[in-house]
């Protein structure tokens, strides 16, 4: 009888040891699984059509306070008298990109040669002020054709589009509240968001909305990236 009890206790002990091994294996497997499930969510804040004096500097103040990096696509004719703002963008670690010299569609898109000349002139101006040649490009007023994209890529540019918008150009006279809402709506369900915003002179509401736009993406677990 005593032997039987001993045997049962022994089997139970073996069972417990086996169970603990299975448990160890399961917990060892789990981190790999959850790592794969938690792919990083990224948001690229992008600002087109600047620099302007008031709006660009307000946006830079917010980005600095929030410790967020962004990308500014520059119209170089507008930067001629705002070199200090251009330098501030570079000095504070943001990315400067090419958005054209003039933003005048008829001139820029007249031919491949004029498109290229416009991009080169804008890039050269940015380099002359900041000492660094920009290598990202965004088409003024659209996405460009495939041939136009390839032309700029051969020139050494990474051509950057967008997949979400704060709505500051589409909605005339939009309030900051509307821009926050539109940003969240247009980025919904995207793990990699490139948000289109503008920092030219009329867009004071964009600067006003920016702290809440950043708070929204932060609360959703996004990290902030620049090109």
Q: How do strand 192-198 and strand 71-74 relate by DSSP bridges?
A: unpaired
Distance of closest approach, residue 48 Cβ to Zn ion, in angstroms: 4
Residues 6+ apart with CB under 8 A from 99: 48, 49, 73, 74, 75, 122, 137, 138, 140
Instruction: Determine contact, residues 191/43, Cβ cutoff 8 Å.
Output: no
Distance of closest approach, residue 203 Cβ to Zn ion, in angstroms: 11
Residue 197, number of CB atoms within 10 A of its CB: 27
Distance of closest approach, residue 59 Cβ to Zn ion, in angstroms: 15
Distance of closest approach, residue 218 Cβ to Zn ion, in angstroms: 27
- For the record, the structure tokens of 121 come out as 């002139």
49 or 118: whose CB is closer to Zn ion?
A: 49
Helix (H) or strand (E) holding 42: strand 41-50
222 or 227: whose CB is closer to Zn ion?
A: 227
Per CB under 5 A, residues contacting Zn ion are: 48-49, 140
SS percent in the chain: helix, strand, coil, step 5: 55, 15, 30
162 or 224: whose CB is closer to Zn ion?
A: 162
Distance of closest approach, residue 107 Cβ to Zn ion, in angstroms: 14
- For the record, the structure tokens of 32 come out as 């790999």
Dihedral sign computed on CA atoms, order 92, 74, 141, 56: positive
Spell out where 104-169 has E strands. 136-137, 158-159, 164-165
12 or 105: whose CB is closer to Zn ion?
A: 105
181 or 198: whose CB is closer to Zn ion?
A: 198
Query: CA-to-CA distance for 139 and 225, rounded, in angstroms?
Result: 20
140 or 144: whose CB is closer to Zn ion?
A: 140
């Amino acid at each position: 009888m005593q032997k039987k009890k001993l045997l049962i206790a022994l089997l139970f002990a073996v069972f417990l040891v086996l169970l603990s091994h299975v448990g160890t294996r399961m917990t060892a497997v789990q981190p790999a699984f959850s790592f794969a499930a938690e792919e990083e969510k990224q948001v690229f804040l992008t600002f087109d059509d600047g620099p302007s004096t008031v709006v660009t500097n307000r946006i830079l103040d917010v980005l600095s306070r929030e410790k967020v990096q962004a990308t500014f696509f520059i119209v170089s004719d507008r930067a001629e008298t705002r070199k200090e703002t251009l330098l501030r963008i570079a000095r504070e670690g943001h990315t400067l990109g090419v958005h054209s010299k003039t933003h005048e569609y008829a001139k820029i898109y007249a031919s491949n040669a004029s498109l290229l000349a416009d991009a080169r002139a804008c890039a050269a101006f940015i380099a002359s002020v900041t000492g660094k040649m920009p290598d990202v490009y965004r088409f003024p007023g659209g996405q460009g054709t495939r041939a136009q994209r390839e032309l700029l890529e051969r020139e050494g540019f990474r051509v950057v589009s967008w997949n979400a918008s704060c709505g500051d150009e589409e909605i005339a006279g939009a309030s900051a509240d509307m821009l926050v809402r539109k940003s969240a709506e247009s980025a919904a369900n995207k793990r990699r968001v490139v948000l289109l915003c503008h920092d030219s002179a009329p867009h004071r509401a964009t600067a006003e909305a920016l702290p809440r736009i950043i708070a929204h993406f932060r609360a959703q677990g996004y990290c902030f990236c620049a090109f």
